[in-house]
């Protein structure tokens, strides 16, 4: 068995630093080491956050390409990929009348649920059972090993990389080169969304009056992230999600920052002003 989880696809969902991701299996292994606990307990920590309807977006890795958002809005069954068609045939069977005189035999099995709740139950059924081996975290036969969340979400929700002395280790002892080390970051070091999250999280427990003011470049990164959420069909609750990542309790702060800098608080786009148009016409006339 190989501990190299890159066989399930490069852990990213978009180009650039903000598109970095972390495999869920790698995250479980890291939680086991970080909290000195067994796999079942680490999986419980993972699923507590994923179970929330406003929880992290889960991506499915694609070998040779960027990962794509996992479609959770379906029925989930206890099979390697969560589909009814893949449920192993054993025990009781029912006859489903279909094409031909004899019909089609199919296994009789109960659904685990629909949507995010069904997905969580599916993942718990494989990784969250003590009778299953730890090697299932790196099994090519289980689709869960293809799943991942953004690195920024992993940092905010589970503290990914928060201990410089810890290192995620694969089931066969192969060390991961994916774990990041969180350290003090200055305002001028912020260049993308993950670094902005790290920077603002440093002041999450500081009173609002003592937090550093927002730089225009940082607001632009916030607007770009919101716009990305909007384009990806995740506009609902986006302000609240981004606010939590940045260390704020309510999405109202995100909307205030964007509107105060001239951005649309829903789309993250800054409408061109009358003066911008005049400047463009002057530039084009020269």
When comparing pLDDT for 177 and 47, which is higher? 47
When comparing pLDDT for 186 and 163, which is higher? 186
Taking the alpha carbons at both ends of the chain, their separation in whole angstroms is: 65
pLDDT category at 250 given cuts 50, 70, 90 is: confident
Please tell me the predicted confidence (pLDDT) of residue 184.
65
Average pLDDT over all residues of the chain:
77
Chain segment 63-118, per-residue pLDDT in tens:
777 888 998 888 998 887 888 877 765 544 443 333 334 444 455 578 899 999 99
CA 160 from chain centre, in angstroms, equals 12
* pLDDT at residue 212 tops 80: yes
Chain segment 111-140, per-residue pLDDT in tens:
899 999 999 999 999 999 988 888 888 877
Please tell me the predicted confidence (pLDDT) of residue 205.
78
Query: What whole-number distance in Å separates Cα of residue 258 and Cα of residue 266?
Result: 9
Concatenated DSSP letters for 39-100? Answer: HHHHHHHHHHHHTSTT-PPPEEEETTEEEEE---SSEE-SSTTS-STTS---S-EEEE--SS
* pLDDT at residue 236 tops 60: yes
Share of the chain above pLDDT 90, in %: 27
Give the number of other CB atoms < 10 A from CB of residue 191.
13
Please tell me the predicted confidence (pLDDT) of residue 41.
94
* pLDDT at residue 151 tops 70: yes
* pLDDT at residue 283 tops 80: no
Please tell me the predicted confidence (pLDDT) of residue 174.
36
């Amino acid at each position: 068995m190989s501990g190299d989880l890159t066989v399930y696809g490069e852990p990213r969902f978009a180009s650039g630093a903000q598109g970095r991701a972390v495999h869920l299996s790698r995250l479980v292994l890291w939680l086991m080491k970080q909290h000195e606990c067994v796999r079942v307990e680490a999986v419980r920590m993972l699923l507590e956050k994923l179970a929330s309807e406003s929880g992290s977006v889960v991506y499915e890795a694609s070998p040779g390409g960027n990962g794509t958002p996992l479609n959770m809005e379906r029925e989930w069954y206890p099979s390697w990929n969560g589909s009814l068609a893949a449920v192993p045939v054993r025990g009781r069977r029912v006859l489903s009348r279909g094409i031909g005189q004899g019909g089609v035999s199919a296994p009789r099995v109960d659904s685990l649920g629909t949507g995010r709740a069904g997905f969580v139950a599916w993942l718990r059924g494989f990784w969250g059972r003590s009778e299953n081996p730890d090697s299932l975290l790196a099994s090519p036969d289980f689709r869960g090993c293809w799943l991942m969340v953004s690195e920024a979400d992993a940092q905010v929700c589970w503290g990914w990389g928060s201990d410089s002395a810890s290192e995620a280790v694969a089931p066969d002892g192969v060390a991961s080169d994916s774990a990041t080390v969180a350290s003090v970051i200055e305002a001028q070091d912020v260049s993308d969304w993950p670094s902005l999250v790290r920077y603002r999280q440093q002041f999450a427990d500081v009173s609002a009056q003592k937090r550093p003011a927002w730089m225009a470049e940082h607001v632009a990164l916030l607007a770009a992230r919101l716009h990305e959420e909007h384009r990806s069909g995740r506009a609902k609750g986006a302000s609240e999600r981004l606010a939590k990542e940045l260390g704020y309790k309510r999405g109202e702060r995100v909307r205030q920052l964007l509107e105060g800098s001239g951005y649309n608080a829903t789309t993250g786009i800054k409408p061109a002003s009358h003066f911008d148009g005049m400047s463009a016409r002057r530039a084009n006339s020269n």
